[in-house]
């Protein structure tokens, strides 16, 4: 394999591993603040128990997010020097603002939030919790500004092959930023909703019927039910925005080869890039045209428009984009069914008597948000190929000349570590859930103990 | 708004400040990790408790440093990091292991605690050695030969010892009783490594580059430069004396080994900065040549001038909140 492909796999592995944890911490920070505020108001112990349980998950996820994020910041330089050399004048300030306004804020106040409860006044601890949640969201804001700019770059000019910023307002509020940011923040909310619902359901199934378990279950299911319709709407708007700015990506998502009207919504197909057609197609007639153009006869761009005279393909790989999009939408539909059925049952029977098969289903969906988030990112990121910055810089131009063997060695090392850590993370989360309520009672022993 | 001639210098100063803060701050918590094998189980818990609220923010200075290098000196960033590809990878894996072990050791089932302690130590060691190795390669002008690798191996070991020394200083400051006495012995053992490391770097640096040799040993520079080695030598002597007299009855001077180690690191840093200025890639690329476009630097500087004082303020707040001897870490 060549350096380019290996570097791409390595970056994909790093960023895929990394995004799992911010996806949890962005929304979980706000959930913790909510638990804390509910406790401050009601003085009901169950809210503090919820806080104390989920703050452990937060701390663990945060640590994994930090260390995998550091890896990424270095890989810009080690593997993709062309990126910063070409677009550094735009990407640099955005990353700098992320570090300055988000990283330090979250890191410092995390210490106070985790370990300062007994050392600072209550209001300061609540403020620290707020600032940590705010910091994670700021971090998401800046990084999504940069990512969106890479998809829909505006506000810059090229001088001697180097990008120079001319209009920062246009760069920050670039055309796809509001949609992408909303889509990601909602994805984080849904990930946390199903994480809390799933883990609470599992605790309940194991016979842990502490009040905070039922409350967590209710919180997760209701949050999921509230967010999923908003997410479907935001996703749709994001898709329309992509159609306007990156039509080749939408053509690949729909598996549509020819520009035409009455494009079906494909439920299943095997896109074949050699024959340039789909095999085993199953679709709903005209539905893709209706979704994208709000008209059955609406003309949707096709992939064949993105083949140059000499046969050079300038659209992304079709099957990967086509299928990751379907995985994302499929999980979204599953979330809709699970959360709305859950709310119906909560309303009819209460959190204490949900049917066991439903609770097992929720347990199975504990990490469903991860699946949808990764699939969504693969759709949008693979959908930008062969560009790194749409229309400005290709992936191939940015890669650094490192010996392929070196990249392969580090890639294997990263993969091994990521797999071990992922297994350990999931294992420990379920271990914490197993211990559940039993450690929530304050420890009175004066021995020195590490924070759990 | 800002003079484009001055901007690269300001950013070089900011980069230097971030690296220095990183080396001092993460230095002490890496050092605590390095000392793990010498401590008992309960002692390890207390050592972790002493760095618990800080390590994450400490590490953020590395992200800021690499961020400034990335945004202010994009060309140098690519040159330096591709030349240091392998040690960077080792450091990153070390940082990953260390950061996650910190959480996992406390949250995993009790039987898994010992392996995670091992991972915490291994991660700290990989990070310290890799950083020391990179320091050596940087001094040697980023060229890979047998001689430069051998020298870098020496600086790798020296930096690990230096981190252990400042880590021991931190433990002396933040604990008492048997653990504090143990840490004093660690520091007594480590100070020789510090002297050796700083000495090796000081001897090698001027020999590698005639330019640096001239900068050090020509008149009148030699007079202005002389306080650096003199103060370092005096400080080492004072530290050695202090470590023989610690612990004191009322815990006075428990702060001295840590503060002394910090000052030593600061002195060493200024020596390096003096030697390499105005180059950012030694002997190849100057600060000015490598700088990004002035308008981009200006917009970062505006934000930095507003935000950095706030960062420093709440960092100080955190150290004030968690002042005093380390106690049990608890979420409630």
What is the CATH classification number for the domain harbouring B221? Answer: 1.20.1630
pLDDT value at residue A417: 92
Chain B hits for A406, CB-CB cut-off 8 Å, are: 85-86
- Percent of chain B surpassing pLDDT 70: 99
**Which residues 153-212 of chain B have a CB within 8 Å of chain A?**
none
Cβ neighbours for A354, distance < 8 A, ≥ 6 positions apart: A201, A204, A217, A342, A345, A346
Does residue B150 lie in a domain region? yes
- Percent of chain B surpassing pLDDT 90: 16
**Which residues 423-442 of chain A have a CB within 8 Å of chain B?**
424, 427-428, 431-432, 442
Rounded mean pLDDT of A191-206?
A: 94
CB contact under 8 A, A78 and B85: yes
Q: What are phi and psi of A279, to 5 degrees?
A: -105, 150
Chain A hits for B42, CB-CB cut-off 8 Å, are: 447-448
For residue A297, give how far its alpha carbon lies from the nearest alpha carbon of chain B (Å).
47
Measure CB to CB from residue A111 to each of B53, B100, B103 and give the nearest one: B53
Size of interface A-B (CB pairs under 8 A): 245
pLDDT at A443 over 50: no
B294 CB within 8 Å of a chain A CB: no
pLDDT at A452 over 60: no
Does residue A281 lie in a domain region? no
Does residue A284 lie in a domain region? no
Q: How many domains does chain B have?
A: 1
Of A311 and B233, the structure prediction assigns the larger pLDDT to B233
pLDDT value at residue A388: 92
CB contact under 8 A, B57 and A111: yes
CB contact under 8 A, B303 and A428: no
Q: What is the extent of the structural domain holding B285?
A: 7-321
pLDDT value at residue A203: 92
Closest CA to B132 of B224, B30, B58: B30
pLDDT value at residue A286: 85
pLDDT value at residue B249: 79
Chain A hits for B78, CB-CB cut-off 8 Å, are: 77, 81-82, 84-85, 400
For residue A23, give how far its alpha carbon lies from the nearest alpha carbon of chain B (Å).
17
For residue B158, give how far its alpha carbon lies from the nearest alpha carbon of chain A (Å).
24
For residue A291, give how far its alpha carbon lies from the nearest alpha carbon of chain B (Å).
41
Q: What tens digit of pLDDT does each residue of A220-273 get?
A: 999 999 999 999 999 999 999 998 899 999 889 988 888 888 888 888 988 888
Q: What are phi and psi of B90, to 5 degrees?
A: -60, -45
Q: How many domains does chain A have?
A: 1
Per-residue confidence at B332, pLDDT binned at 50, 70, 90? low
Rounded mean pLDDT of A192-209?
A: 93
Does residue A450 lie in a domain region? no
Per-residue confidence at B294, pLDDT binned at 50, 70, 90? confident
Per-residue confidence at A445, pLDDT binned at 50, 70, 90? very low
Q: What tens digit of pLDDT does each residue of A33-69 get?
A: 999 999 989 988 899 989 999 999 999 999 999 888 8
pLDDT at A201 over 90: yes
Q: How remote is the C-alpha of A67 from its chain's centroid?
A: 17
The CB-side HSE value for B96 (13 A sphere, CA atoms) comes to 26
Rounded mean pLDDT of B116-139?
A: 92
CB contact under 8 A, A448 and B42: yes
Does residue B1 lie in a domain region? no
Chain B hits for A428, CB-CB cut-off 8 Å, are: 104, 107-108
Cβ neighbours for B44, distance < 8 A, ≥ 6 positions apart: B36, B117
Q: What is the extent of the structural domain holding A8?
A: 3-259+301-439
Q: Give the total residue count for chain B.
A: 332
pLDDT value at residue A450: 43
Does residue A364 lie in a domain region? yes
Rounded mean pLDDT of B299-321?
A: 86
Does residue B331 lie in a domain region? no
Does residue A271 lie in a domain region? no
Does residue A101 lie in a domain region? yes
Q: Which residues pair with A279 in a beta bridge?
A: A270
For residue A203, give how far its alpha carbon lies from the nearest alpha carbon of chain B (Å).
17
CB contact under 8 A, B322 and A116: yes
Rounded mean pLDDT of A413-437?
A: 89
Task: Name the token pair of A6.
Answer: 């290996």
CB contact under 8 A, B52 and A105: no
Rounded mean pLDDT of B44-54?
A: 87
pLDDT value at residue B282: 80
Does residue A268 lie in a domain region? no
Rounded mean pLDDT of B259-280?
A: 86
pLDDT at B4 over 80: no
Place of tokens 């967010």: A227
Q: What tens digit of pLDDT does each residue of A354-392 get?
A: 888 999 999 999 999 999 999 999 999 999 988 999 989
- Identify whether the C-beta of residue A250 lies closer than 8 Å to the C-beta of residue A263: no
Distance CA B24, CA A445 (A): 35
Task: Name the token pair of B239.
Answer: 């530290």
Q: What tens digit of pLDDT does each residue of A157-185 get?
A: 988 888 888 889 999 999 999 999 999 99
CB contact under 8 A, A78 and B89: yes
Per-residue confidence at A440, pLDDT binned at 50, 70, 90? very low
Mutation target vs B (from A11, A59, A62, A70; most B CBs, 10 A cutoff): A70
Q: What single-letter DSSP state applies at residue B225?
A: H
Q: What is the ipTM of this complex?
A: 0.85
Measure CB to CB from residue B106 to each of A406, A410, A450 and give the nearest one: A450
Q: What tens digit of pLDDT does each residue of A86-135 get?
A: 888 888 889 888 888 888 888 889 988 888 888 888 899 999 999 999 99
CB contact under 8 A, B311 and A109: no
Task: Name the token pair of A440.
Answer: 């929530």
CB contact under 8 A, B71 and A90: no
Q: What are phi and psi of A268, to 5 degrees?
A: -150, 140
Q: Give the total residue count for chain A.
A: 452
Does residue B332 lie in a domain region? no
Does residue A328 lie in a domain region? yes
DSSP string computed for B210-222: HHHHHHHHSTTHH
The rounded mean pLDDT for chain B is: 86
CB contact under 8 A, B71 and A443: no
Does residue B55 lie in a domain region? yes
Does residue B191 lie in a domain region? yes
Mutation target vs A (from B103, B177, B317, B329; most A CBs, 10 A cutoff): B103
DSSP string computed for B247-277: SPTT-TTTTHHHHHHHHHHHHHHHHHHHHHT
Q: What tens digit of pLDDT does each residue of A288-342 get?
A: 888 888 888 888 888 888 888 887 888 899 999 999 999 999 999 999 999 999 9
pLDDT value at residue A57: 93
Does residue B329 lie in a domain region? no
pLDDT value at residue A16: 95
pLDDT value at residue B272: 84
Question: How many C-beta neighbours within 10 Å does residue A291 have?
Answer: 17
B72 CB within 8 Å of a chain A CB: yes
């Amino acid at each position: 394999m060549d350096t380019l492909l290996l570097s791409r796999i390595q970056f994909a592995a790093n960023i895929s591993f990394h995004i799992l944890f911010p996806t949890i911490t962005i929304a979980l920070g706000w959930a913790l603040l909510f638990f804390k505020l509910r406790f401050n108001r009601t003085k009901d112990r169950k809210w503090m128990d919820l806080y104390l349980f989920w703050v452990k998950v937060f701390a663990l996820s945060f640590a994994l997010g930090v260390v995998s994020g550091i890896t990424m910041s270095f890989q810009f330089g080690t593997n993709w020097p062309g990126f910063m050399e070409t677009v550094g004048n735009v990407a640099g300030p955005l990353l700098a603002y992320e570090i300055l306004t988000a990283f330090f804020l979250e890191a410092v106040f995390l210490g106070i939030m985790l370990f300062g409860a007994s050392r600072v006044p209550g209001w300061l601890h609540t403020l620290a919790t707020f600032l940590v949640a705010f910091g994670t969201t700021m971090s998401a804001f800046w990084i999504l500004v940069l990512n969106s700019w890479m998809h829909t770059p505006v506000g810059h000019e090229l001088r001697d092959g180097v990008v120079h910023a001319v209009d920062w307002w246009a760069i920050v509020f670039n055309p796809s930023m509001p949609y992408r940011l909303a889509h990601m923040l909602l994805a984080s909310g849904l990930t946390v909703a199903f994480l809390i619902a799933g883990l609470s359901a599992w605790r309940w199934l194991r016979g842990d019927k502490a009040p905070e378990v039922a409350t967590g279950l209710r919180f997760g299911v209701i949050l999921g039910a509230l967010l999923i319709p908003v997410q479907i709407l935001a996703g749709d708007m994001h898709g329309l925005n992509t159609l306007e700015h990156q039509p080749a990506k939408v053509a690949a998502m729909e598996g549509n080869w020819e520009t035409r009207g009455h494009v079906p919504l494909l439920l299943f197909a095997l896109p074949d890039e050699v024959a340039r057609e789909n095999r085993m197609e199953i679709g709903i007639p005209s539905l893709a045209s209706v979704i994208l153009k709000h008209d059955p006869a609406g003309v949707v761009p096709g992939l064949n428009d993105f083949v140059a005279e000499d046969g050079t393909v300038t659209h992304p790989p079709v099957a990967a984009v086509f299928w990751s999009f379907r995985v994302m939408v499929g999980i979204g539909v599953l979330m809709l069914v699970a959360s709305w059925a859950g709310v119906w049952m909560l309303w009819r029977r209460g959190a204490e008597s949900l049917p066991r098969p439903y609770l097992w289903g929720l347990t199975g969906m504990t990490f469903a948000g991860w699946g949808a988030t990764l699939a969504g990112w693969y759709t949008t990121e693979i959908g930008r190929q062969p560009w790194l910055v749409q229309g400005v810089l290709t992936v191939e131009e940015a890669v650094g000349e490192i010996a392929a063997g070196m990249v392969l060695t580090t890639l294997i090392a990263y993969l091994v570590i990521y797999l071990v850590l992922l297994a350990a993370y999931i294992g420990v989360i379920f271990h914490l859930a197993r211990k559940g309520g039993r450690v929530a009672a304050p420890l009175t022993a004066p021995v020195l103990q590490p924070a759990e | 708004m800002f003079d484009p001639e001055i901007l690269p210098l300001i950013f070089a100063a900011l980069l230097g400040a971030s690296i220095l803060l990183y080396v001092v701050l993460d230095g002490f918590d890496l050092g605590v990790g390095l000392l793990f094998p010498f401590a008992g189980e309960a002692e390890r818990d207390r050592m972790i408790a002493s760095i618990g609220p800080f390590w994450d923010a400490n590490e953020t200075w590395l992200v800021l440093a690499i961020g400034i290098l990335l945004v202010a000196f994009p060309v140098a960033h690519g040159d330096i990091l591709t030349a240091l590809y392998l040690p960077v990878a080792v450091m990153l894996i070390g940082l990953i292991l260390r950061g996650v072990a910190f959480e996992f050791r406390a949250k995993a089932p009790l039987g898994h605690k010992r392996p995670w302690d091992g991972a915490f130590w291994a991660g700290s060691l990989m990070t310290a050695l890799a950083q020391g190795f990179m320091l050596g390669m940087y001094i040697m002008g980023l060229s890979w030969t047998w001689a430069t690798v051998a020298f870098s191996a020496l600086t790798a070991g020296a930096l690990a010892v230096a981190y252990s020394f400042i880590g021991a200083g931190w433990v002396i400051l933040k604990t008492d009783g048997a653990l504090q006495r143990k840490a004093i012995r660690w520091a007594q053992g480590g100070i020789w490594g510090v002297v050796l490391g700083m000495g090796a770097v000081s001897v090698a640096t001027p020999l590698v580059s005639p330019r640096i040799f001239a900068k050090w040993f020509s008149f009148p520079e030699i007079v202005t430069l002389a306080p650096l080695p003199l103060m370092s030598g005096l400080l080492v002597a004072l530290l050695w004396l202090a470590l023989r007299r610690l612990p004191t009855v009322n815990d006075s001077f428990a702060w001295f080994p840590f503060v002394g180690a910090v000052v030593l690191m600061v002195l060493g840093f200024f020596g390096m900065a003096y030697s390499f200025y105005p180059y950012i890639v030694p002997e190849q690329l100057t600060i000015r040549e490598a700088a990004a476009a002035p308008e981009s630097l200006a917009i970062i500087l505006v934000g930095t001038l507003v935000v950095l004082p706030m960062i420093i303020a709440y960092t100080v707040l955190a150290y004030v909140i968690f002042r005093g001897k380390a106690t049990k870490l608890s979420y409630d």
